[in-house]
Structure 1
Amino acid sequence: MVKKALWGLALFCSLVLLCFGAFLLYVTLTDYEPEPALPLTVINNASQKLTTGVPFTVTTFNIGYAGLDKDQDFFMDGGTRSRAASKEQTAKNLSKILSFLKREASSFYLLQEVDVDSSRSYHINQQAAMRQHLPDYGLVFAQNYLVSWVPVPVFDPMGSVNGGLVTLSKYQLKQSTRFSLYGKEDWPQQPFDLDRCIMENRIPLENGKELILVNLHLSAFDKGGKVRKQQLAFLKEFMQRHVQAGNYLILGGDWNHLIPGTAPKRFKAKESWPEWMQTIPSDFLPKGFTWVADGSVPTSRTLALPFKQGINFQSNIDGFLISSNVEVKRVYGHSLQFEYSDHNPVTAEFVLK
C-alpha cells in the first residue's frame, strides 16, 4: 500500500515537472523579441509645430498600471501581491490619473507601465482610455512587456501581461522609434521579464534641427545593477550621437536610479535604503548635460508594505536629463501621496535655445 502511494506521488510529481517544462519551453519559444529599432505609429498626430524660444512643459509619470495605489504592495519589492486589488479599484485609479493629466495639460507626457490587456490590471485597455479622454493629444505606444503568463507569485500569479510606454504630444511628431536597450536577465528569468526599451520621438523645429524627446523606463531588480550598467552605456552612446548632430535632447522617465542632486534622507522613513536602489555612475553624464528633478517631492516609494507616511522609503528616481541647448525654466513634483500609483509625477518647463 505504501509502495503504491509512493509510486502515485512520484508519478504526480513527474507530471507536474513535465507540464512546467513544457510551459517554460513554450514561453521561451514565444518570447517577445522585437527588432533593435522598431518604427512606431503616431495616432492622431498633431499639426501644431514646436519652435525655439517658446516655453513648453513635459510631465513624466509611471502610472503603475493603475494598480499600485497607496493600499498595495508588490512581491518583487518584499510584498506579496502582483495584481491590482480589483477591476473597480483599477478603473478608479485610472480615472484619477486621467483627471490629473487633463488638469495639468502638459505639452508632452512621458508615461510608463501603461497596460493594454493584462491580468494584473483586469484587462482594462489603458491606452484606449487615454485616447478617449485626451483627444487633443497625439499618442505613441512602445511595447516593453508581452508575456502569455507570468506564474509568480505562486498563489496569486501576475498572469498575462501586455503593456509598455506611452508618449502623448500636443505638438507634431516627425517620427517615433522603439530602441531596444542593452542587457537582459539570464534564462529562465528573461522570458518572464520586461523587454526594456526607450521611445525616441523626433519633433521637427523651424531651424532645421530636431528635439529628440526620449521616454524611458530602466531596469530595477537586476542583481547588482549589471543590466542597468549596460542600459546606461547605451544611453550615453545615444546622447553623444545626437549631440554631434546638433539636436536638442530631453530624456525623461523612470530611471530606477537615484537622480543626482536629490537626497532620500530628507524624507522620513523607517525602512532602510532598498537593495535595488542604484546611484548613477559619476562617469555617465556626457559633457554639457544637466539633471532636472524636484528633490523636495519624492517620486517613488517602496512596495514592501502599503504606503504610510514616515514608514516607506521614498526617493527621486523620476526626472529629466537635458542637453546644453535646452534651458529649464522650472521643475516641480506633484505630491499625490502615492494615492493612485507607486510614483508621483514630475513636470518641467523648458525652452529650446
Structure 2
Amino acid sequence: MIGAFLLYMTITDYEPKPVIPLKVTNNTNHLLKPGVPFTVTTFNIGYAGLDKNQDFFMDGGSRSGSTSKEQTLSNLNGILKFLKKEASSFYLLQEVDVDSSRSFHINQTTAIQRQFPGYGMVFAQNYLVPWVPVPVFDPMGSVNSGLVTLSSYKLKQNTRYSLYGKEDWPQQLFDLDRCITEHRIPVENGNELILVHVHLSAYDKGGKVRKQQLTFLKEFIQRHVKAGHYLIIGGDWNHLIPGTNPKRFQSTESWPEWMQTIPPDFLPKGFSWVADPQVPTSRTLAIPYKNGVNFKSNIDGFLVSPNVTVKKVYGHPLEFDYSDHNPVTAQFILN
C-alpha cells in the first residue's frame, strides 16, 4: 500500500522547469521615478491558518492546518485589512494558498486580487502536492500554494527561477519546490528595478539545502550587479537577518535547530541588509503563541544594492494575530 502510494506520488510529482515566465493580472502603466520614495512590504501570511492560537507539527507542535474555515476567513480578513491600510507600493506575500486542505480550499489569491484592483498581481507556484500524509493522525492533505507579488507600478517582465537544492527522496515528494521570482520594473531614467521575491527553506537539517539556495542567490545577484540595475531582494529568508539579535526578545525557549545564520561572505560589496531589529517577524510553533515563551527572531527583510537608498524600515507588531510572522515595510529611493 505504502509502495503504491509512493509510486503514485513519484509519477505525479510537480517538477517545474528551471525558468518559467509568469503572467501579470491587471498590470498598470505607472513608472518608477528616481528620487521619489516608494514602499515594499513583505509578509508571510502562513496560509491564513497559523494564527496566534496555532502550533505546527514541523516545529514540534501537532497541527498541520488551520483550526476551521471560519477562523481561516477571519485571519485572511485581518491580513487584508492590514495590507489595505498600509497602502504600500509593492507587496511580497508568501504561503498564499489557492486550493489546499490546510486552509479549507479558500482561494486566497482571488480574495487578495479583489481587495487590490489597482495593483498588478503575479502568482508563482512553489507547493503543489496531491496529498501530504503527515502527521499521521492529522495529515496536511492536498496543497496548492505559492508566492504573490502585488505592484502599483508597471511590471515589464516576471520570471520564476527554481532554486538549487532538494531534500532526498521520498521527502522531496512532499516538500515545497522552492523558487524566487524576478520582477523587472521600468524606471523613467531608462534603468530597471529588479525586485526579487524570496522564500527559502526552513526545516532542512543543518541548513544543507539553504546553503545551495544562497549559492544560487549569490550568483544571481552578481549577474545583475554587472548590468548596473537597481536591486531589492525581499521576503522570508528563513535565516536570521544580519544586524538583528533574538536575545532582544524575551523567551524561555532555546535557539531552534532550524534557525540558520547567513554567512558574512554572502553579502555582495556595497549591499545592505534592511530589517527592523526591534520588532520580531517570526515565532516558533511548538506551542500557540505566548509572549515571553516562544522564541522570536527576524527572518523577514530586504537586501538592497548600493544605488538604492533606504529611507526607513519598520516592523509591524501584529503580535502574530493572523500568522506566525509579523510583516515588515521599508521605504526606498532609487538614486
For the superposition of Structure 1 and Structure 2, which TM-score range results when normalised by the shorter chain? over 0.9
**Stretch moving more, 204-213 or 339-348:** 204-213
Determine whether 1:192 maps to 2:174: yes
Query: In 2, distance between residues paired with 1:136 and 1:204?
Result: 18
Q: Which residue of 2 aligns with 1:307?
A: 289
Query: In 2, distance between residues paired with 1:96 and 1:136?
Result: 20
TM-score, length of structure 2 as denominator length: 0.99
Where do 5+ consecutive residues of structure 2 fail to align? none
Query: In 1, distance between residues paired with 2:70 and 2:186?
Result: 41
Aligned length in residues: 335
Query: In 1, distance between residues paired with 2:122 and 2:17?
Result: 17
Query: In 1, distance between residues paired with 2:7 and 2:230?
Result: 45
| Percentage of pairs with the same residue | 77
| Alignment match of 1:341 (pick from 304, 323, 334) | 323
Amino acid at match of 2:58: M
Query: In 1, distance between residues paired with 2:13 and 2:198?
Result: 21
Query: In 2, distance between residues paired with 1:352 and 1:62?
Result: 26
| Alignment match of 1:180 (pick from 151, 154, 162) | 162
Query: In 1, distance between residues paired with 2:307 and 2:8?
Result: 49
| Alignment match of 2:271 (pick from 276, 289, 299) | 289
Determine whether 1:115 maps to 2:101: no
Displacement, 1:29?
1.1
1:305-346, Cα deviation, whole Å (9 max, x unpaired): 000000000000000000000000000000000000000000
Determine whether 1:204 maps to 2:186: yes
Q: CA RMSD in A?
A: 0.5
Query: In 2, distance between residues paired with 1:208 and 1:106?
Result: 23
Determine whether 1:148 maps to 2:126: no
Q: Which residue of 2 aligns with 1:139?
A: 121
TM-score, length of structure 1 as denominator length: 0.94
Amino acid at match of 1:226: K
Displacement, 1:161?
0.1
Q: Which residue of 2 aligns with 1:277?
A: 259
Query: In 1, distance between residues paired with 2:264 and 2:233?
Result: 18
Q: Which residue of 2 aligns with 1:81?
A: 63
| Alignment match of 1:324 (pick from 306, 310, 314) | 306
Q: Which residue of 1 aligns with 2:223?
A: 241
Displacement, 1:182?
0.2
Query: In 2, distance between residues paired with 1:112 and 1:101?
Result: 13
* Helix, strand or coil at the partner of 1:236: helix
| Alignment match of 1:94 (pick from 76, 82, 88) | 76
1:275-315, Cα deviation, whole Å (9 max, x unpaired): 00000011111111100000000000000000000000000
Where do 5+ consecutive residues of structure 1 fail to align? 1-18
Displacement, 1:209?
1.3
**Stretch moving more, 47-56 or 270-279:** 47-56
| Alignment match of 1:61 (pick from 43, 54, 75) | 43
* Helix, strand or coil at the partner of 1:58: strand
Query: In 2, distance between residues paired with 1:134 and 1:171?
Result: 13
Displacement, 1:223?
0.6
